[in-house]
Structure 1
């Protein structure tokens, strides 16, 4: 039976709306009386002493030469550290987060002590790496290692799988990278609240449990941004679909239960059904992890957030009649409630002053964001205080200038909410000037000056002071902006590189397919015909061609070998691999009936022909390797000797596999068997082009292949129990039917996933030790563990 909650959604909204109206009226009075100008002028005059410096010509040139581009992330962090600026940089950045996200007052002694601790810990984390490599700073391997320390590996695996699933379902017309970033940001925000609520004397298992719940709650709440807010802001849904979807969300918030979704009228039915399933699960999780006394508050605050967003969303920029109250009250509500919800999500105890500080603070952040995005919003036709003022200020002299209100809000916060606290003043002015600097850098000086001519004309003297600070003030940048830019850049770069990798891999796969066909060169055509037909039948299956693709990338893409010269090596690898599959499928071994989406060879040509075909392909592989005439004969001989050894070892691995049927293996035994069966084939695909190219990184590549091969096999074992026939191209649950020991049978699904990511991390860490980065291997490793077939 569904729980019935007594949610007074409209009543709660009207109370919040009245509070927002009172706040707006207070700000309007201060704006009209120009109190903020006097207050902020004094504040800025004092503040600028620490931000505007006089330099000699030599020190100025040295300073400019040494300063790093803020977009370089790790190098910029290193520059801050070497120049002695890192402590202040982190102090203002962490202080800002404590104000914005945690609703803290910076003059509280316990908050000051906590900020000092976080700054020290964060500085240690940022400066511990001496490589200066930015690419792996926020990698899955680094994240998983951190999760291991906290005992929440399963949680991280779960949430990364969830984010991957959501990203895969973000429709065209929405920004996938921005959706990921927002989701990660909300998860981090909820986690941060939980960390601040935790007692220092918690037992490790209790701490892990709380972190697990916080991450899942963060994901559950964070889903609302890409799957509700961003979706309704986009043009993906029709007007009719948006209305139906909004009604569905409103009903859930008012009743406390997600309504059933039976039929969806519109072209986006599949998308809505996916979203409905994800949001229903998230909704239920949040409900079940809240204290009864905070549950109703959560729903009422969520309704305020949703309703204020809806009011803003349906506004029309061409409507000339919106009042100042209609423009500003909804953004006061949505900006405050979005952060008030976070605290109610984790059922935190009441914090003295948190509600008021968070409520009054929200519009400051919202006005700053709206200023930064005003041209994008204008292009989209969205109504914000800035876009509306830009559009209608000439005919509507009664409109409040949002830029002037922004400075009024800053003054009010500094002197009435934070009681003229020096650090609060420092952080807020840093942030305001930084926002203007970033806008000027992004839009260019000419556009910036045009914007200022319009929005900053309310007080020329005060405006000159602000522009002086924008021009001359230094040390006003923030880590969260650096991190945001870095995450977006990294997500876009990784996505682009991964897409290019997959596109190139598919091109190479098709090229390899085109060269595998065997022709009869014997003078008597009938002699080889049955073997050739059988071999070509196996080779024509829709294989992934991973091994020759790996060799092509390493040989051509990384080592610069001639593509035509290594064709025999590519053919040999696929011949050898296909032969191993033929043997593996035989009735005396796995007795498989489907391979690569088609009946196995022995099912079509009988067992004897299958055995002979496997042997035939093995010999053809060595014939191809002996045809590498563009390379030094001794090098080719070395390669053939190595290949023969690998083939023999893989036979040993298959023998171990057959002998293991019905037996209980230890994890060590399974790892060894897996390496001989799978890892060695990966190793050969990496080592043979390295041999031809005369490279000296053989041992590192062997270690990488060992861990990548085991990760690949674990993923195969997981797909055997979680995959489907259409995607796999072979029957799932085959290992269970064969009574075969697998990583899943030994470790369970959860344990197998942990083991896979452990080997993923070990393989990733090997890549960091190579003299030169091999980006292909990073993307190849990501493909191995994220594939669905």
Structure 2
């Protein structure tokens, strides 16, 4: 028997099982068996969810942290989290809520979520610093670095025609789902080594499987590939899953070859990792489920909305199969051996989620011409009386789950009905009342009384929302906000840099005596990042509300001082660098003497500019100049330490001090000097100095990392200088992985200090993100 026949033979019993399930549901739909029973259930349910309007406590603002704080204030938080976690345990893990052991797990998970996302922090719980602190606590920092790099790569390569936000959301959701499954198997008795190994594996498995969503499902749905390319790509996936071995992708025909080859490389790596883990588990169930899932997806994907003759089996059997497999695959991925009852529950539950998702996406699916149970019914229900009404099927599945699968358990009934009413409330808001009412009128023609009742509940019910929905909305919005904030930040940086570049050139006269001015301008005009004067500009204008013109001398002075430090740093007697800012260093362009004199010249020009800050009171300007002189002296000490350290192995403390003197002080000056002009408190200045200390070291560590793995074209200077000069760096002392840990730890310290500032400084967070994620 060949492999293909073997797989098809394995699929057929699953198809028969799905058909048996659908026939049972079909009979209930035909008889409308669900109406009377669910009406009774909902009558009981409404007693605790419909209150007189004067007593109802509602809140339209569902912003993440404010909403959770409001729930805590009103005493609803524990109930909200309990039903949310309980729903996940039913849907994703196939557990019964009547099981006391499962209820104990739900309680522990609820407390964990409550402590992690609410009680321990008033800040974003899923940003990089928070996630790194969790990884640090679990000892999986290396896994964090790996994942960040992979996610950056995926985001960079996703075609513009795809919905990047939802692709990233789905990928991260799968990773979180696999982590949830793994954490469910660990307990307080698990050793630190076991937790570390299992969590590392869970993240990598989650990513490896989750990658199939953007790079298979979304890619095939996005109309990027031609029809011929889709056929080639689908054939490759099917062959790979059938043989449980990555098939070669030869002789690609089509214009998307570069994209497909990249996708192939990443999927191959992911697939081989999964296969390695599966081999250790001696388990083939994952590949069988994946093959079935892909087979069902293909059947669904190949449908055409203009084809009027699909049977109910053709419409619904693929839905049952793919929705059941999507949950069961994750369990099989980590080698979970569920009992038959758990597998049955997950098999029956899947279609509920698919029908709920199809209803939620009805507008989008209609606009794109996609075939879903709802879009197909709405197009053909008037011509075809045989079509199953998906909304009636939706309520039939709810009835089946509550009373046949979960044996009429009261808590299960409560949670599933909460979910159903919440889904309709969200749909009504999304569609608008008029369109929603018209849709419900069509979908409930055979059950108008039941519709009136559920719409009353949709209108009046309070407190039926779920954490995962809040999290989803928050996450998608957060991705959009981050993308926009990043775009705005870099545009702001670009605009300010352009303005600063216009301010920096030093006026030149004629004759040989102006060679120093000419040399100074040569150094200034290089492709500098201008980060220090940009930070000063943002602090001065955005935080302290100075007029930009009033701080121009300070802007110039910071860049002159910084450029002078680079000139000295590059000299043959020091780092002996050949390139800086994408061009020859000054001593290479002219000679060492001119370079030394130019560095001194720019230092004096910096003080001259500071003395020109005539919009501020003289005593404040004098204090600023004194501070500037102190920091210049400290930078010189730092460079001396650096020179003395060549060929010596420094301790991490010595390296931290040296890097702060060399790099951190410049950032400190850019933050603190505007605060001196603003007469800020000592406490505020102390916080700014702490931010600069950690940010400066993080920046320097990234430089050390780029010196090993960076790109000359992006960096504007050769890589490998540190090794060539026998310099002690974070990489030479700690290794690549240790250096990254140190960098992220300083990053977190800086972010956590920014959080305590008395004003909003989003640009500082963006700047820190740039420091640790930059490629130049």
- Report how far residue 351 of structure 1 moved: 2.9
Residue number among 298, 307, 324 corresponding to 1:319 in the alignment: 307
Which sits farther off after the overlay, 607-616 or 497-506? Answer: 607-616
What aligned pairs does 1:295-334 form with structure 2 within 5 A after superposition?
A: 295-334=283-322
> Does the CA contact (< 8 Å) of 2:550 and 2:615 recur in 1?
yes
Mapped partners of 1:437, 1:400: distance in 2: 24
Mapped partners of 1:528, 1:28: distance in 2: 95
What aligned pairs does 1:311-710 form with structure 2 within 5 A after superposition?
A: 311-521=299-509, 525-696=510-681, 697-710=684-697
Which sits farther off after the overlay, 223-232 or 669-678? Answer: 223-232
| Alignment-derived partner of residue 104 in structure 1 | 95
* Secondary structure, counterpart of 2:511 in structure 1: helix
| Alignment-derived partner of residue 31 in structure 1 | 29
Q: Residue deviations 1:218-247, cap 9 Å, x none?
A: 011111111111111112222222222212
> Does the CA contact (< 8 Å) of 2:714 and 2:775 recur in 1?
yes
| Alignment-derived partner of residue 711 in structure 1 | 698
Mapped partners of 2:333, 2:721: distance in 1: 43
- Report how far residue 263 of structure 1 moved: 4.6
* Secondary structure, counterpart of 1:662 in structure 2: coil
* Secondary structure, counterpart of 1:50 in structure 2: coil
> Does the CA contact (< 8 Å) of 1:554 and 1:686 recur in 2?
yes
Mapped partners of 2:765, 2:426: distance in 1: 33
Residue number among 8, 12, 15 corresponding to 1:14 in the alignment: 12
Q: Does 1:755 align with 2:755?
A: no
TM-score scaled by length of structure 1: 0.95
- Report how far residue 116 of structure 1 moved: 1.9
Which sits farther off after the overlay, 644-653 or 234-243? Answer: 234-243
Residue number among 215, 225, 239 corresponding to 1:227 in the alignment: 215
Unaligned runs of 5+ in 2: none
Q: Residue deviations 1:329-372, cap 9 Å, x none?
A: 11111111111110111011233412111111000000000000
Mapped partners of 1:351, 1:730: distance in 2: 60
Mapped partners of 2:513, 2:234: distance in 1: 68
> Does the CA contact (< 8 Å) of 1:520 and 1:528 recur in 2?
no
Mapped partners of 1:150, 1:107: distance in 2: 32
- Report how far residue 256 of structure 1 moved: 1.6
Mapped partners of 1:294, 1:454: distance in 2: 51
Q: Residue deviations 1:617-673, cap 9 Å, x none?
A: 111111222222222222221111111111111011011001000001000000000
Residues 202 and 137 (structure 1), Cα distance of their counterparts in 2 relative to 1, 3 Å cut: closer
Q: Does 1:71 align with 2:59?
A: no
What aligned pairs does 1:237-248 form with structure 2 within 5 A after superposition?
A: 237-248=225-236
| Alignment-derived partner of residue 732 in structure 1 | 719
* Secondary structure, counterpart of 1:471 in structure 2: helix
| Alignment-derived partner of residue 137 in structure 1 | 125
> Does the CA contact (< 8 Å) of 1:305 and 1:337 recur in 2?
yes
What aligned pairs does 1:119-268 form with structure 2 within 5 A after superposition?
A: 119-129=110-120, 133-134=122-123, 136-268=124-256
Residues 7 and 629 (structure 1), Cα distance of their counterparts in 2 relative to 1, 3 Å cut: farther
Mapped partners of 2:111, 2:694: distance in 1: 35
- Report how far residue 5 of structure 1 moved: 8.4
| Alignment-derived partner of residue 44 in structure 1 | 42
Mapped partners of 1:495, 1:7: distance in 2: 47
> Does the CA contact (< 8 Å) of 1:71 and 1:485 recur in 2?
no
- Report how far residue 532 of structure 1 moved: 2.2
- Report how far residue 262 of structure 1 moved: 4.9
* Secondary structure, counterpart of 1:382 in structure 2: coil
- Report how far residue 507 of structure 1 moved: 1.3
- Report how far residue 777 of structure 1 moved: 0.7
Equivalent residues, number: 773
Mapped partners of 2:346, 2:282: distance in 1: 18
Which sits farther off after the overlay, 99-108 or 755-764? Answer: 99-108
* Secondary structure, counterpart of 1:398 in structure 2: coil
Q: Residue deviations 1:150-196, cap 9 Å, x none?
A: 11122122212211221122111112221221111100101111111
Q: Residue deviations 1:701-737, cap 9 Å, x none?
A: 0000000000000111111111111111111111011
- Report how far residue 431 of structure 1 moved: 0.3
Mapped partners of 1:426, 1:294: distance in 2: 40
Mapped partners of 2:262, 2:543: distance in 1: 41
Q: Residue deviations 1:715-763, cap 9 Å, x none?
A: 1111111111111111111101110000011111111111111001100
Aligned CA RMSD, in angstroms, stands at 1.7
* Secondary structure, counterpart of 1:295 in structure 2: coil
| Alignment-derived partner of residue 778 in structure 1 | 765
Q: Residue deviations 1:277-310, cap 9 Å, x none?
A: 2111110111111246653221111011111111
Mapped partners of 1:70, 1:338: distance in 2: 33
> Does the CA contact (< 8 Å) of 1:6 and 1:296 recur in 2?
no
Mapped partners of 1:571, 1:505: distance in 2: 16
Mapped partners of 1:694, 1:238: distance in 2: 63
> Does the CA contact (< 8 Å) of 2:611 and 2:621 recur in 1?
yes
Which sits farther off after the overlay, 646-655 or 115-124? Answer: 115-124
Mapped partners of 2:70, 2:565: distance in 1: 54
Residues 636 and 200 (structure 1), Cα distance of their counterparts in 2 relative to 1, 3 Å cut: closer
Q: Residue deviations 1:486-530, cap 9 Å, x none?
A: 111111112111110011101111222222222225xxx214332
Q: Residue deviations 1:582-629, cap 9 Å, x none?
A: 111111111111111212111111111111111111111112222222
Q: Residue deviations 1:382-424, cap 9 Å, x none?
A: 1001010111111112111100000011111111111111111
Mapped partners of 1:389, 1:475: distance in 2: 32
Which sits farther off after the overlay, 711-720 or 193-202? Answer: 193-202
Residues 293 and 600 (structure 1), Cα distance of their counterparts in 2 relative to 1, 3 Å cut: closer
> Does the CA contact (< 8 Å) of 1:186 and 1:221 recur in 2?
yes
> Does the CA contact (< 8 Å) of 1:401 and 1:455 recur in 2?
yes
> Does the CA contact (< 8 Å) of 1:631 and 1:692 recur in 2?
yes
Mapped partners of 2:112, 2:212: distance in 1: 32
Mapped partners of 2:287, 2:609: distance in 1: 69
Unaligned runs of 5+ in 1: none
